[in-house]
Amino acid sequence: MTQPLPPAPDAPPEFADLVALRRDLHAHPELGFEEHRTAAIVAERLRALGLEVHEGLAGTGVVGTLRAPGGNRAVGLRADMDALAMPEAVGPELRPWASTVPGKMHACGHDGHTVMLLGAAERLAADPPPGTVHFIFQPAEEGRGGAKRMVEEGLFERFPCDMVFGLHNMPGLAPDEMAVVAGPQLASSDSWKVVLRGVGTHGAKPHLGRDPVTALGAFLGGLQSIVGRVVDPLQPAVVSACSVQAGDPRALNVIPDEVQVGGTARAYTPEVRDQLEAEIGRLANGIAAAYGIEADYAFIRRIPPVVNDPAATEVAAAAAAGVAGAMRREFAPSTAGDDFAVFGAEAPGCYVWLGNGPARDGALHHNTGYDFCDAAIPTGVAWWEGVARAALA
Ligand SMILES: [Zn+2]
Ligand SMILES: [Zn+2]
């Protein structure tokens, strides 16, 4: 940081408890499936409100259940708790709540997500709506598969939900501004790996082997033709090669036996997702055949796209209309992913954005300078409360 950060806007004094907890969580970040301290705080707070508390789902997951007579519908409200394995670039002199754990930081604002849902639990427990509210505190959203594991361990059998909701902070929107949009909001996030197997040989005698490095060049050159020439131009898709391993920089006269390449694939529909899986493999096998070598191909499905259900989106929008300073009903989808998609596949769901204010010092999600904006807490708490009431009405 070359310049001091401008002071972030604060939340009103009645939110001081939640702000203090948010900063405490920020100072003590925990990685996916290691959120023991965070989960213990969450469970203790939910218990103090008189909720049924279930710990240990997906290891560190916590579900708090609030039941009130007069209704038989149930709604799931999901917050994520994990931090990222990266250093925080802003120290305690500028940010007194900076991470105290080297190499770990809340760079995605999940500290804020956790406290906003706790704040809503407090309000709903004080005046429960008829029906059932499940407060789902999920571990390991950042690529470690927390949502999938919660579902595999019976989340929706034990806590059936008629609708499920998620919220993420979004820099660039004002802290009291929300975006609530039906349809695709986040892309699928899958990994692919290709091994091109040739026959290694002396770099001066390529005719005595089968060179996988040259084949890799052709593969990488053809890779972008999948999005450019195969996928419908009106359907967004991304294919990126992000890792290449071949040979040894200390052996520049050796053609290696094999090269490994891998990357990510993103889409917003199941059809395009299937297409990317098939086409990357077709290209790898086709290039291998052309060069007289072999290819191994693996496509690893990580998370499906987040596609907001129209009815759940209307519930979310009705709640936002009552509490947000402004609401956007159109908002460009992000090529990032969120495993809330796994919950949305089990029940009609909606995932909304809540503003995080301007990107201070240009810091966006997963940046070493990022911080959740405490001024967004009042809107987030009020929206969670409102969406629970609207879903159960
Ligand atoms: Zn993130
Ligand atoms: Zn996140």
Span 123-169, pLDDT tens digits: 999 999 999 999 999 999 998 999 999 999 999 999 999 999 999 99
Name the closest ligand to CA 114. Answer: 2
Residues 377, 10 contacting (CB under 8 angstroms) = no
Going from the Cα of 368 to the center of ligand 2, the distance in angstroms, rounded, reads 14
Going from the Cα of 201 to the center of ligand 2, the distance in angstroms, rounded, reads 47
Q: Smallest Cα–Cα separation from 100: which of 30, 17, 35, 33?
A: 30
Predicted local distance difference test score (pLDDT) of residue 105: 98
Where would I find the beta strands (DSSP E) of the chain? 52-57, 61-68, 74-80, 131-138, 163-170, 177-179, 183-186, 189-197, 201-202, 237-246, 254-255, 258-267, 294-303, 306-308, 326-328, 349-355
Quote the CA–CA distance of 12 and 304 in Å, as a whole number.
Answer: 38
Going from the Cα of 170 to the center of ligand 2, the distance in angstroms, rounded, reads 9
Quote the CA–CA distance of 268 and 306 in Å, as a whole number.
Answer: 8
* N residues, the chain: 393
Name the closest ligand to CA 85. Answer: 1
Strands 306-308 and 183-186, sheet pairing: antiparallel
Going from the Cα of 209 to the center of ligand 2, the distance in angstroms, rounded, reads 47
Going from the Cα of 366 to the center of ligand 1, the distance in angstroms, rounded, reads 6
Name the closest ligand to CA 111. Answer: 2
Predicted local distance difference test score (pLDDT) of residue 8: 67
Buried b (16+ CB within 10 A) or exposed e, 277-293: bebbbebbeebbeebeb
Quote the CA–CA distance of 307 and 340 in Å, as a whole number.
Answer: 10
Mark the ranges of the chain whose per-residue pLDDT is less than 50: 1-4
Q: Smallest Cα–Cα separation from 370: which of 105, 177, 35, 139?
A: 105
| pLDDT tens track for 301-338 | 999 999 999 999 999 999 999 999 999 999 999 988 99
Q: Smallest Cα–Cα separation from 66: which of 82, 46, 86, 80?
A: 46
At position 151, the amino acid (one-letter code) is V
As a whole number of angstroms, the longest Cα–Cα distance in the chain is 81
Residues 323, 386 contacting (CB under 8 angstroms) = yes
Going from the Cα of 337 to the center of ligand 2, the distance in angstroms, rounded, reads 9
Going from the Cα of 67 to the center of ligand 1, the distance in angstroms, rounded, reads 31
Instruction: Say which residues have a Cβ less than 8 Å from residue 245's Cβ, sequence separation at least 6.
Output: 259, 260, 261
**Distances 81 to 54, 106, 116, 118, 152 between C-alpha atoms, Å:** 16, 9, 11, 12, 19
Name the closest ligand to CA 84. Answer: 1
